[in-house]
Structure 1
Amino acid sequence: MTKLSALEEIRALLVQGGWVLFPIFLIGLFAWILLFERYFVYRRAKSRGEHGMLATLRRSISDAVSLGRNAVDNSLKLATHAYDVEFDKAFPTISVCASLAPMLGLLGTVSGMVHVFRTIQLFGFGNPVLIADGISEALLTTQAGLLVSFPIVLANNQLLNRLNNLKAKCWKEALQFENEQLSVEEK
């Protein structure tokens, strides 16, 4: 299959599925772009290791250790909050995209069935090919909405779990470092 014929097939599929397939496609594309961007943020944070999140947490502990435990706790929470905001900022949008795709698929189903009923009203039940066109539109949009949504939900959950594990690991090591620093300061 050549590039031109593949593009023609995609165009024919979009025409056959009705106007709703295009927004479903755009929402899926947007969600995957956000997922890949979040994945690279995660990889960058994970690869930095000592120079990334953990180093920032240790620095905030070291800066506040002379002021006491409350100051250290507040400094640690402030630094952690900054990372939480950075890590989590696109996930609500990705979840909305994953939720919207099946809803648009359902809208396409309704649109296809309206097409079927309009065809029946105009031509009766005499030509099943005309009726099949509307049913095809309904089924394609439902399928597209689900096919876009499922992988996005799975990838979103997987990436969120990885980020949460990374944050938990850094938080645990930061708390151990905090206890070490405070025990040294108290002596």
Structure 2
Amino acid sequence: MTQLSALEEIRALLVQGGWVMLPIFLLGLFAWILIFERYFTYRRAKSKGEFGIISQFQKSILDSYAFGRRAVNFRLEEIRHFIEVDFDKAFPTIASCAALAPMLGLLGTVSGMVHVFQTIQLFGFGNPVLIADGISEALLTTQAGLLVAFPIVLANNHLRARMERLKAESWKRALQLENEKFSAEGK
């Protein structure tokens, strides 16, 4: 299958599924963009470089060390708060996208069934091809809503759990660094 024929197949599915397929597709695309953005935030925070969490904690300890242990504690808590806010943004939006996709699929199901009943009203049961078109629309949108939501939920939960572990590990390491710094000086 060539790229062109794959795109033609996708276009045919979008047309066959009715108008609801486009919002389902766009919702899924938006959610995946947010997931990839969160993933790159995670990778940057996990790095050993300047933008890593441990580096931020080390820098804050060194910057406020001269003001005493209490100042270091306040600065570490401040950095921790900003990291938590940065890590947690977009996850509620991703979860909302995952919850909305099946609802849009259900809307498409209702739309397809309305289409079936309108066809029956106009042409009766004499032409099963016309009836099958509406049923196909109903089933495609249901399937699309579920196919969009399921991997988004899995990716969201997996990435969120990894970020929570990274936050916990980095906070533990920050406290160790603080203790090492002050115990080495005898303060």
TM-score w.r.t. the length of structure 2 is 0.90
RMSD of equivalent CA atoms: 1.9
Shift of 1:145: 0.4
| Matched residue type, 1:24 | I
Shift of 1:185: 5.3
Counterparts of 1:131-146 in structure 2, within 5 Å, are 131-146=131-146
Structure 2 portions without partners, runs of 5+: none
Shift of 1:130: 1.2
Q: Identify if the C-alpha distance between structure 1 residues 118 and 59 changes in structure 2 by more than 3 Å, giving closer, same or farther.
A: same
Structure 1 portions without partners, runs of 5+: none
Alignment correspondent of 2:118: 118
Alignment correspondent of 1:164: 164
| Matched residue type, 1:87 | F
Alignment correspondent of 1:42: 42
* Kept after mapping to 1: 8 A contact 2:48/2:55: no
Alignment correspondent of 1:55: 55
Counterparts of 1:13-162 in structure 2, within 5 Å, are 13-48=13-48, 52-162=52-162
Calculate percent identity across the aligned residue pairs: 73
TM-score w.r.t. the length of structure 1 is 0.90
Shift of 1:14: 1.0
Counting matched residue pairs gives: 187
Q: Identify if the C-alpha distance between structure 1 residues 49 and 167 changes in structure 2 by more than 3 Å, giving closer, same or farther.
A: farther
Shift of 1:123: 1.3
Shift of 1:127: 1.8
